[in-house]
Structure 1
Amino acid sequence: MEEGIFEGLKVLDCASFIAAPAAATVLSDFGAEVIKIEPPGSGDPYRNLPNLPGYPVSPHNFAWLLESRNKRSLALDLSRPEGQAVLYRLVAEADVFITNFPPGVRQRLGITYEELKPRNARLVYASFTGYGEKGEEANKPGFDSNAYWARSGLMDLVRADENTTPARSVAGMGDHPCAMAFYSAIVTALYKRERTGEGSHVSSNLMANGVWAAGVLAQAKLCGAKFGERRPRERALNAVTNHYRCKDGRWLILSLLNEERQWPVLARCLGREDLVNDARFATRPDRHARSLELIRIFDEVFATRDLAEWRGILDGNGLVFGVVGILDDIPNDKQMIENEVLVPFENDTMLTINSPIWIDGSQKVKPRHPPGIGEHSDDILREAGYDDASIRKLRASGAVA
Structure 2
Amino acid sequence: MDNQKPLSGYRIVELATFVAAPVCARLLGDWGADVIKVESPAGDAWRTFGQTMSMPVNEDENPAWEIANTNKRAIAVDLKNPHGQKVLHDLLQTADVFITNNRIEALKKINLDYESLKEKYPRLIYGIVTGFGENGPDVNQPGFDSVAFWGRSGFLADLVPPGAYPVYSPAGFGDLAVGTILCGGISTALLKREKTGKGEKVSISLFGASVWLAGLMITSTQSRYQNKYPKERLEGNPMVIPYKTKDGEWVFLTVIEYDRYWPALCKVIEREDLITDARFKTRLDMLNNRAALIPILEEAFETKDIAEWLTRLREADIVHVRLQHLREIENDQQAWANDYLYENTFANGAKAILPSSPIQWAEAGALPRQSGPLLGEHTQELLEELGYTQEQIEELKNQRAARIR
TM-score of the two chains, using structure 1 as the length reference? 0.91
> Alignment partner of 1:145: what SS?
helix
- Output the CA distance in 2 between the equivalents of 1:190 and 1:228: 42
CA deviation profile, 1:151-198 (whole Å, cap 9, x unmatched): 12222231222x223223111111111112211121111111011011
Q: Secondary structure at the match of 1:300?
A: helix
| Aligned equivalent of 2:331 | 332
Q: Which residue is equivalent to 2:203?
A: 203
Instruction: State the alpha-carbon separation in 1 of the partners of residues 304 and 375 from structure 2.
Output: 51
Q: Any gaps of 5 or more consecutive residues in structure 2? A: none
Contact 2:158–2:229 at 8 Å: present in 1 too? no
Aligned to 2:377: 375
Deviation larger for 311-320 or 285-294? 285-294
1:11–1:97 CA contact under 8 A, matched in 2:
yes
**Alignment match, 1:93:** 94
In structure 2, what is the Cα distance between the partners aligned to 1:88 and 1:238? 55
2:181 maps to 181
Is the deviation greater in 221-230 or in 7-16? 221-230
Counterpart Cα distance in 1 of 2:165 and 2:223: 28
The separation in 1 between residues aligned to 2:221 and 2:278, in whole angstroms, is: 37
SS in 2 for 1:7: coil
- Superposed, which structure 2 residues align to 1:18-57 within 5 Å? 18-41=19-42, 43-52=43-52, 55-57=53-55
Q: Give the corresponding residue for 2:359.
A: 357
- Deviations 1:20-75, CA, capped at 9 Å, x for gaps: 1111011011011111111113x1001111123xx234574221010001111111
Sort the Cα spacing of 1:201 and 1:261 in 2 relative to 1 into closer, same or farther, 3 A: closer
Which deviates further from its counterpart, 173-182 or 59-68? 59-68
Q: In the TM superposition, what is the alpha-carbon distance from 1:222 to its structure 2 partner?
A: 5.2
CA distance in 2, matches of 1:20, 1:102: 12
| Matched-pair identity in % | 36
- What do you get for the CA RMSD once the two structures are aligned? 2.3
Q: Which amino acid aligns with 1:291?
A: R
Q: Compute the displacement of 1:229 (Å).
A: 7.2
Aligned equivalent of 1:247: 246
Higher deviation after alignment, 364-373 or 292-301: 292-301
Counterparts of 2:24 and 2:63, CA distance in 1 = 17
Q: Which moved more, 1:189-198 or 1:267-276?
A: 267-276
Moved more, 270-279 or 116-125: 270-279
Q: Do the aligned partners of 1:236 and 1:242 also contact (CA within 8 Å) in 2?
A: no
CA gap of 1:395–1:320, structure 2 versus 1, over 3 A, is same
SS, match of residue 151 in structure 1: helix
**Maintained 8 Å contact 2:160/2:231:** no
Name the structure 2 match of 1:151.
152
Q: 1:20 to 1:272 in 2, by over 3 A?
A: same
Q: Which residue of 2 aligns with 1:64?
A: 65
In the alignment, structure 1 residue 263 sits paired with structure 2 residue 241: no
Q: Aligned pair count?
A: 396
**Could you say if the C-alpha distance between residues 134 and 236 of structure 1 is closer, same or farther in structure 2, counting changes exceeding 3 Å?**
closer
Amino acid in structure 2 at the alignment position of 1:372: L
Q: CA deviation at 1:207?
A: 1.2
Aligned to 1:81: 82
SS in 2 for 1:241: coil
